[in-house]
Chain A
Amino acid sequence: MKSRKEGVEGLEPIENIGSAGLSQSPSAVPAAICINYRGRRIKLHGLRLPPKGIWKWLIILGPGLIATSAGNDAGGIATYSSAGAKFGYDMIWVMVVLTLSFAIVQEMCTRLGAATGRGLLDLIREKFGIAWTLFAIAIIVVANGGVTVSEFVGIGAASELLGVSRYISVPIAAVGLWYLVIFGSYARVEKVFLLMTLVFFAYPIAAILGNPDWGAVARGAVVPSVRFESEYIFLLVGVLGTTITPYIQIFQQSSTVERGAARKHYGPERLDAYFGSIFSNIMSVSMMIATAATLYVIGQHDIQSAADAAKALEPVAGVWAGTLFAIGLLGASLLAGGVLPLATSYAISEAFGIPKGVNLDYRRGKVFFGLFTAFIVFGAVVALIPNIPIFPLLVGIQVLNGVLLPIILVFILLLINNEKLTGELKNTKTYNVLGWGTFAIITLAVVVMLGGQILETFGIDLFAK
């Protein structure tokens, strides 16, 4: 006690002791607003004000751009490249029409997420019961598992085109994606995924390097041409199914929820959905143009995979076009390789009410992260099996997704029109017309695809060869 008194006597004035020796100002003084309070003018720096200029628009981008871009995965690149190589510019109009449908469906999912704060499988379970939920989950698990394998196959193929063995690239990619999601926050994962979408610019550049006939491109975009040939019809259905896929809708809705979108301020998310759909389809059209301008012209019509397309482009459009295609494939497969396991983990967790989200720490999200880990490991390990028959696998997956897609679309349309759930954010009449129209087209396409495949097994061909 005495020593403390001594201490007081010897005390220097506090102000002379100084502060803790820290930097005197924070890294940047953010913008402030002024308020008048009791005759005083006070500057408030502690507000989280919305960004200005280009950031105001860039900050909007997120789940919409990521989900739609993930649709341009290894399977997507193969389909679009094949459409260009087989039919030149004739299928571009399909993408133009499809962009509207795609944007409508993606926006509805975003709106549903913001209006309810719930993922698609949450709502399916709550409103349509356990049987539909289990049906959807079973297909999602099998189909997404298969597509995940194809993404890692894509990573391996692309890296080998760039001179790196798949046995090095696939494990590195798997560990990288796993680390990003397990140890990152949602915001960080979103930023990395958004950066990955930049690789898609490789496709417009590859298209330009292919020196296309832009007049023919414009004609192909605005003049519909339908051929009643089995190859054309099946590729048309393939393009439809590749563009609008259940996992894209599931991921978009769940990640919109995780991003924190709320019904009171819904709006920017809509732009994200529209922009993502348009961006993604421009990239798809670029793939078509790149192969139409080169492979179609020289009569090389048979493309089975994205890697095939990249290899075939090199001698025709130059090394850079092939390399860009390979880089695009690597980025696209990496993005989808992260999105698919995430979408599946979201879906399963939502269906069973398990805590979900990248923002959870591992202790709280063991099941969610366990599912994610299992899908990544499964995809990477199976992809490394030599001579894995990826093409028949993708055909099977396409059938499964085809069965699920119309059902998912009906659910989305019924849910978004449920006023108790969505309130003021329910569909307008125009949206309903476009939404149900999309459903009709998709269902018709799926029926044609499935019917054609069934009839083919009996040796009956619906369309001319």
Chain B
Amino acid sequence: MAMLSELLKFNVVDADGRRARLRDLEVALLDDEYPRVTGIHFSSNGSTLRLDWEAVTGVNSSAREIRVSDVKAGRKVSEKKGVAGVLLKGDVLDALIIDLLSRRTTRATDLRLDVSDDSMELKAVDTGLGAMLRRITRGAFRGGKNRDMFDWKYVEFLRGDPQAVDSGAGYHMRIGRLPAGEIAQIADYIPYLHAAELLTLIADEKAALVLQAMSIERQVQVIEEFDEEQAVALLTMMSPDRATDLIGRLHVPTMKKYLALIPMKQRERIIDLLRYPEDSVGGVMINNTLCIGDGTTVKSARQQVRSHSKERDFIGVIFVTESANNKTLRGTLTLRALMDAEDDEKLSEVMDPYVVTLNPQDNSVDAAYRVMTGQIGAMAVTDPDGKLIGAMTIESAISQVVSPGSALNAVKVFS
């Protein structure tokens, strides 16, 4: 085992005795859980050269030497082009890292590598005081505690460059294993460019879930960092109400451009929601609720529930209307009640007809208390003719009453 801070004091020595100072180690992060060193960077005659690890003939820790066949065989590293792999000193050391086990951010103060004669592997990140002392005393201090070490297997490091993935930079790609809400929590307090970069490490569908779980201010910063295609893809995959909140905060020309590119079904839902002011029920409701005609049988309703469950805003309340085409609200039905009922019963027989509705122009905070004190999953929102136009969910209600900085602002659990 050796620490990077110690390795950086090693010399690169070839068979003819030519010496050069080791500058950095390059790894391919995607190759393994514990990535191997794939190249060494060293300085010779004022320029930085690179050699593949295959050129290394041995490592002599006591003499602080990395032996190579020929120092002169090193290829010059172009600053503009950069390198394909990840540089341990240049990219990882002092960078912001996320420990996926504790879900917290810290900085990589030193790196621990497993060193053998023919290979080096990145094993852990040292974040402790010992690592700091080791670095500022240039190795005179040799202590450190194991509890400050983070196993590399559970570490994600970020560069603060949202375009890095597209330009072929290597990543650990482990962050995507966390639940969307937890990723969003992290993305909320790291710098916004890091947050945007973090989303690029996750599959689009999950990235949309993460994005909508972030604070709205952070969502705006992040989406502006993506190109048009990526931004539209994410807005399309978000819940319509969350996409509406986000799109409503963008600059008007951007908003119009994105609206024109979003697929029609999602676009119409967004435009429908954008008609209402932010502090009204219409401004916080969802509008892709499941509504089924009251003459429908329980069996058929269950099938409709199953197909609707793929929708982003699936909630546990079914709104029973006069018919599939006539949205005049007749009652509501919970999923539990639907499960309890007999297959051949009609919805009009099993629904709860005593429904309290909200007007889309109602004040959203007043309505939020109504939903929460009523202890229901969602309250119907109807137009003056009694036609269903959406629902205020318990999540929307919570977001209206918690403080602006609260993580509960973006809670999306029940739908």
The answer on a CB contact under 8 Å between B275 and A134 is: no
The answer on a CB contact under 8 Å between B370 and A46 is: no
The answer on a CB contact under 8 Å between B251 and A265 is: yes
Set of chain A residues within 8 Å of B406, measured between Cβ atoms: 361
Set of chain A residues within 8 Å of B17, measured between Cβ atoms: none
Tell me the complex Cα distance, A352–B108, Å: 9
The answer on a CB contact under 8 Å between B106 and A24 is: no
Residue B221, interface by CB 8 Å: yes
Chain B 252-266, CB-CB to A under 8 Å as 1, else 0, gives 100110010000000
The answer on a CB contact under 8 Å between B109 and A130 is: yes
Tell me the complex Cα distance, A18–B355, Å: 9
Within the complex, which residue of A11, A24, A42, A262 is in contact with B192, where a contact is CB–CB below 8 Å? A262
Set of chain A residues within 8 Å of B357, measured between Cβ atoms: 14, 17-20
Q: Interface residues of A, CB < 8 Å — how many?
A: 64
Residue B311, interface by CB 8 Å: no
Residue A414, interface by CB 8 Å: no
Within the complex, which residue of A37, A351, A352 is in contact with B271, where a contact is CB–CB below 8 Å? A37
The answer on a CB contact under 8 Å between A4 and B274 is: no
Q: In this complex, what residue of A is CB-closest to B403?
A: A185
Residue A23, interface by CB 8 Å: yes
With A14-B329, A126-B94, A353-B97 as known contacts, state yes or no: A118 contacts B191, CB within 8 Å: yes
The answer on a CB contact under 8 Å between A20 and B370 is: yes
Residue A99, interface by CB 8 Å: no
Set of chain A residues within 8 Å of B278, measured between Cβ atoms: 30, 46, 48
Tell me the complex Cα distance, A45–B281, Å: 12
Set of chain B residues within 8 Å of A352, measured between Cβ atoms: 106-107
With A23-B366, A262-B221 as known contacts, state yes or no: A353 contacts B271, CB within 8 Å: no
The prevalent SS among residues of B at the interface is: mixed
Within 8 A of A (CB), among B350-376: 350-359, 361-364, 366-367, 370
The answer on a CB contact under 8 Å between B94 and A364 is: no
Set of chain A residues within 8 Å of B331, measured between Cβ atoms: 8, 11, 14
Q: In this complex, what residue of A is CB-closest to B264?
A: A38
The answer on a CB contact under 8 Å between A47 and B255 is: yes
The answer on a CB contact under 8 Å between B194 and A117 is: yes
Chain A 352-379, CB-CB to B under 8 Å as 1, else 0, gives 1111111111001100000000000000
Tell me the complex Cα distance, A359–B216, Å: 13
B79 → A minimal CB distance (Å): 10
Q: In this complex, what residue of B is CB-closest to A49?
A: B252
Within 8 A of A (CB), among B263-290: 271, 273-280, 282-283
Chain A 72-105, CB-CB to B under 8 Å as 1, else 0, gives 0000000000000000000000000000000000
Residue A52, interface by CB 8 Å: no
Residue B185, interface by CB 8 Å: yes
Set of chain B residues within 8 Å of A134, measured between Cβ atoms: 132, 136
With A46-B278, A353-B96 as known contacts, state yes or no: A117 contacts B105, CB within 8 Å: no
Set of chain A residues within 8 Å of B252, measured between Cβ atoms: 33, 47, 49
The answer on a CB contact under 8 Å between A264 and B185 is: no
Set of chain B residues within 8 Å of A49, measured between Cβ atoms: 252
Chain A 400-422, CB-CB to B under 8 Å as 1, else 0, gives 00000000000000000000000
Q: Interface residues of B, CB < 8 Å — how many?
A: 80
Within 8 A of A (CB), among B306-354: 328-331, 341-342, 345, 348-354
The answer on a CB contact under 8 Å between B193 and A185 is: no
Set of chain B residues within 8 Å of A355, measured between Cβ atoms: 104-105, 189
The answer on a CB contact under 8 Å between B107 and A185 is: no
Set of chain B residues within 8 Å of A354, measured between Cβ atoms: 105-106
Tell me the complex Cα distance, A196–B160, Å: 35
Tell me the complex Cα distance, A42–B276, Å: 11
Within the complex, which residue of B244, B362, B405 is in contact with A20, where a contact is CB–CB below 8 Å? B362
Most central of A15, A24, A30, A257 by chain B CB within 10 Å = A15
The answer on a CB contact under 8 Å between B362 and A46 is: no
A404 → B minimal CB distance (Å): 17
Tell me the complex Cα distance, A262–B162, Å: 13
With A187-B404, A353-B97, A355-B105 as known contacts, state yes or no: A25 contacts B191, CB within 8 Å: no
Residue B386, interface by CB 8 Å: yes
The answer on a CB contact under 8 Å between B193 and A116 is: yes
Residue B412, interface by CB 8 Å: no
Tell me the complex Cα distance, A44–B277, Å: 8
Set of chain A residues within 8 Å of B279, measured between Cβ atoms: 26-28
Within the complex, which residue of A1, A7, A122, A265 is in contact with B191, where a contact is CB–CB below 8 Å? A122
B155 → A minimal CB distance (Å): 12
**3 closest cross-chain pairs (CB), A and B:** A15-B386, A117-B191, A353-B107
Complex A-B: 15 CB contacts under 8 Å: A4-B352, A14-B328, A22-B367, A23-B363, A23-B366, A33-B252, A42-B275, A45-B277, A47-B252, A117-B191, A117-B193, A117-B194, A129-B135, A185-B403, A351-B107
A24-B361, A118-B160, A353-B97 given. 6 additional CB < 8 A pairs? A1-B345, A7-B354, A25-B362, A26-B279, A30-B277, A260-B217
Residues in chain B within 8 A of chain A (CB atoms): 94-97, 104-107, 109, 132, 135-136, 160, 185, 189, 191-194, 215, 217-218, 220-221, 224-225, 244, 248-249, 251-252, 255-256, 259, 271, 273-280, 282-283, 328-331, 341-342, 345, 348-359, 361-364, 366-367, 370, 379, 382, 385-386, 403-407
